């Protein structure tokens, strides 16, 4: 689904497909909160950054650099895109501390959800560490449904056996009315997913 991986823009916010050109900007953003990586599956702290950046570029994820006001302030990605099932996950997300609590996260998720559903995705998932209350609250604010907890779902980079909270939003539910971070929008007809877009 290559049509998913293109620049997405909302005013001073652009999600740019991640490239080597974003390396140093993202390095600086990730270094701004070294403590947060304790609750992430992978560490993007300075000593791990290059390994993780290269692995993400080489993966089958569809990663974006978050560019706000001309600066790289974080990253996010479409994960596990399944064209046949029309399902994907939004994750691999990090926002620099000075941009948190500003409404930027809601704008990012709106762009990604709008675009995914316009491409024919019917289910978008969010998988959040059970310890990460901030991210869980942000996902609920979008109007996602909490489906349950996947116990001991993965082992993180520092050996923590993680419980993962699963949330989802379906295409017919996505109208923005349940989210203060998202403006209502008129409905659009999804574009069918083509198998040759995988």
User: pLDDT by residue (tens digit) across 12-31?
Assistant: 999 999 999 999 999 999 99
- Kindly state the average pLDDT of the residues 154-180: 84
- Residues 56, 19 contacting (CB under 8 angstroms): no
Q: At the top level of CATH, which class does the domain 2-190 belong to?
A: alpha beta
If you ran DSSP here, which 8-state letter would residue 178 be given? T
Please report, for the chain, the start and end positions of each structural domain, with discontinuous segments joined by +: 2-190
pTM of the model: 0.85
Q: Which helix (H) or strand (E) holds 108?
A: helix 104-118
pLDDT surpasses 50 at 169: yes
If you ran DSSP here, which 8-state letter would residue 103 be given? T
Q: Write down the pLDDT at residue 198.
A: 30
- Residues 6 or more apart whose CB falls under 8 angstroms from that of 190 comprise 117, 118, 119, 120, 121, 122, 171
Averaged pLDDT score across all residues of the chain: 89
What angle, 0 to 180 degrees and rounded to 10, lies between the N-to-C axes of helices 23-31 and 49-58? Answer: 130
- Kindly state the average pLDDT of the residues 6-13: 97
- Residues 6 or more apart whose CB falls under 8 angstroms from that of 47 comprise none
Measured between alpha carbons, how far is residue 114 from residues 42, 66, 197, 198 in Å? 27, 16, 18, 19
Grade residue 191 by pLDDT with cuts at 50, 70 and 90.
Answer: very low
pLDDT (tens digit, 9 = 90+) per residue, 107-142? 999 999 999 999 999 999 999 999 999 999 999 999
If you ran DSSP here, which 8-state letter would residue 41 be given? S
């Amino acid at each position: 689904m290559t049509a998913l991986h293109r620049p997405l823009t909302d005013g001073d916010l652009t999600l740019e497909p991640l490239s080597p050109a974003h390396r140093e900007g993202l390095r600086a953003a990730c270094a701004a909160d070294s403590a947060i990586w304790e609750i992430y599956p992978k560490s993007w702290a300075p000593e791990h950054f290059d390994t993780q950046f290269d692995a993400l570029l080489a993966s089958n994820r569809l990663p974006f650099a978050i560019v706000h006001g001309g600066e790289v302030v974080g990253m996010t990605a479409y994960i596990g895109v399944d064209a046949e099932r029309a399902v994907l996950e939004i994750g691999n997300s990090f926002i620099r501390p000075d941009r948190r609590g500003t409404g930027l996260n809601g704008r990012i998720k709106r762009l990604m959800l709008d675009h995914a559903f316009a491409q024919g995705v019917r289910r978008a998932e969010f998988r959040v560490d059970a310890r990460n209350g901030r991210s869980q609250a942000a996902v609920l604010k979008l109007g996602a449904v909490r489906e349950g907890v996947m116990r001991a779902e993965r082992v993180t980079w520092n050996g923590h056996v993680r419980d993962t909270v699963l949330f989802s939003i379906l295409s017919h539910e996505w109208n923005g009315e349940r989210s203060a971070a998202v403006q209502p929008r008129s409905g659009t007809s999804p574009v069918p997913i083509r198998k040759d877009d995988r």
